[in-house]
Structure formats: C-alpha cells, structure tokens
C-alpha cells in the first residue's frame, strides 16, 4: 500500500551549521549568563557525560504542554538517531486557555511548531529565549495583529509566555547556548495543548480547535513513535508517512 504523505504547514525547524565558539563567548560577556554557567554548567556537564552526550555535538528539541504544565528538553548528539529526555521543567505560571494564539493581547500561549530565534541575556524575567511567533501558519490566519514577543523565561508570571523559574531558565539557557555554539542554528520548540494521541484528540472532537489540533497531531505522534522529528521535503515542510 502506498504510504500516506501528510504535508504540514510548518517551517524547517532544525538548522545545522558549523560550530561557533564565539557565540558562547559573546553570551558570556553578560553577567547573568556568566552566573548561570558558574551555577549550572558543572552539573549539566556531568549529566551530559553520564548520558553519552558530548557538549560539542549537542542538539536539542523542546516541547511544551499546556495540560500537564511542563517544558521538556530532549537531547542527542548531533544528527545521531533518537533523542533522550534530558530535563523536564514545570511551568511556573500560565495564561489563556487551550487553543492557538490569534491576536495581540489575547493572553494566549501559542500552539504550534516554532524555533528559538533570540537569546536575551538581560531579560526583565532573568534570562529568556524568544520564539519565532507568529510563524507562517499563524500569519496565514489573517489576523491584522497576531502579536509577538513570546519567550521561554524565568520568574513565575506570564501573559502568553512560558515561565520556568529563574533556576530553570538558567539551566535551559546554558544548554541552548551550548547547542548553538555546537552548530545548532535553529532550536525547535513545539507547543501542544495536551498529548495529541488519537484517544485524547478524539475526546475533544467537539472543540472548535479540533481540526487545528489534528493538523499538529502527526508531528507529535511521529516523535512519540521514533524519538526524532519527521523528515522535511524540498520546500522545508514536515512529511509524515
């Protein structure tokens, strides 16, 4: 039987380039980043070694869930098979409800496939990692002002962002800097309303967001089955067989 191809309207989320130690050095010019390295990096290095992960080959994938209130950090050596769960951070605060973000000021945490596009070492919320919201799919909804400035950050307050406490963001920020220095140009971040398995998705068939969630489900289910992200086509869209 011919395999079924599902083309998802999401961008390529993993970009790999040459190692760039200068990025680490640039980030460590900032006092909060230096303090985070001093407090968190020795234990993280030990954990990476214990798991057979090399810092100079580090590749990360993040996913977050509204129900369950958590951010997961998955890691592998660059391009080498399955990711393993490295860290799980509880969301220290939430806002909005289930469903995608549509406009500025709606208080919603976005749902969809994003990547880190900014490192902010001087955040109002200690340290923060910015997401490329709105992405092409968000913009295609046609809202005149979809909003922006969505971050994973410290503290425990939010209006649409993902706070994981100051201690949590120190760990995650250091890991993200190391992955970027190792050559990971785009760190994928997938935000889901809940585990998008067939049973839980079917239980919410009456939701006005059901079709939107059904479009995200193949990415979630592929990772659950393979512990790696789906391949992409020549246009950079995920292809789930």
- How does pLDDT run along the chain (241 residues), one tens digit per residue? 333 334 344 433 346 677 789 999 999 999 999 999 999 999 999 999 999 999 999 999 999 999 999 999 999 999 899 999 999 999 999 999 999 999 999 999 999 999 999 999 999 999 999 999 999 889 988 788 999 999 999 999 999 999 999 999 999 999 999 999 999 999 999 999 999 999 999 999 999 999 999 999 999 999 999 999 998 777 566 778 7
Q: Which are the contacts of 12, defined by CB distance < 8 A and separation ≥ 6?
A: 186, 232, 236
Which residue in the block uniquely carries the two structure tokens 């230096």?
34
DSSP state of 4: P
Segment holding 180, helix H or strand E: helix 165-181
Cite the DSSP H helix spans in the chain: 21-27, 31-50, 136-140, 165-181, 198-203, 210-226
- Terminal C-alpha separation, the chain: 12
Among residues 153, 190, 210, 226, which one is catalytic?
Answer: 153
If we measure between CA atoms, which residue out of 8, 14, 12, 82 comes closest to residue 239?
8
* Cα(202)–Cα(3) distance, integer angstroms: 23
Q: Which are the contacts of 209, defined by CB distance < 8 A and separation ≥ 6?
A: 98, 99, 100, 193
Per-residue model confidence (pLDDT) at position 234: 72
Segment holding 16, helix H or strand E: strand 15-16
Per-residue model confidence (pLDDT) at position 50: 98
- Indicate if 226 belongs to the active site: no
For the whole model, what pTM was predicted?
0.91
- Indicate if 190 belongs to the active site: no
Per-residue model confidence (pLDDT) at position 132: 95
Per-residue model confidence (pLDDT) at position 15: 64
Per-residue model confidence (pLDDT) at position 227: 97
- Enumerate the domain spans of the chain: 18-227
Per-residue model confidence (pLDDT) at position 17: 76
Is 20:227 a contact under the CB 8 Å cutoff?
no
Among residues 113, 115, 161, 190, which one is catalytic?
Answer: 161
Sheet strands (E) in 25-96: 58-65, 70-77, 84-90
Length of the chain in terms of residues written: 241
**Candidate CATH numbers 3.40.50.970, 3.40.50.720, 3.90.1170.50, 2.40.440.10; the one for domain 18-227:** 2.40.440.10
DSSP state of 232: B
């Amino acid at each position: 039987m011919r395999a079924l191809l599902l083309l998802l309207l999401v961008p390529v989320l993993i970009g790999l380039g040459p190692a760039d130690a200068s990025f680490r050095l640039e980030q460590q010019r900032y006092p909060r980043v230096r303090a985070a390295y001093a407090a968190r990096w020795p234990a993280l290095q030990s954990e990476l070694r214990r798991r057979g992960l090399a810092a100079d080959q580090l590749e990360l994938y993040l996913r977050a869930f509204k129900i369950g209130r958590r951010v997961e950090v998955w890691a592998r050596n660059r391009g080498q098979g399955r990711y393993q769960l490295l860290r799980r951070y509880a969301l220290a605060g939430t806002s909005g409800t289930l469903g995608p973000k549509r406009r500025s000021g709606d208080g919603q945490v976005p749902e969809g496939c994003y990547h880190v596009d900014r490192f902010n070492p001087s955040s109002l919320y200690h340290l923060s990692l910015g997401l490329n919201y709105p992405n092409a799919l968000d913009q295609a909804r046609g809202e005149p002002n979809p909003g922006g400035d969505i971050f994973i950050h410290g503290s425990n307050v939010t209006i649409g962002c993902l706070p994981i406490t100051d201690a949590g963001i120190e760990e995650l920020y250091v890991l993200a800097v190391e992955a970027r220095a190792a050559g990971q140009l785009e760190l994928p971040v997938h935000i889901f309303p809940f585990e998008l398995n067939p049973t839980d998705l079917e239980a919410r068939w009456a939701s006005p967001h059901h079709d939107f969630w059904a479009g995200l489900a193949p990415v979630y289910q592929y990772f659950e089955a393979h512990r790696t992200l789906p391949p992409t086509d020549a246009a950079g869209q995920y292809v789930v067989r």
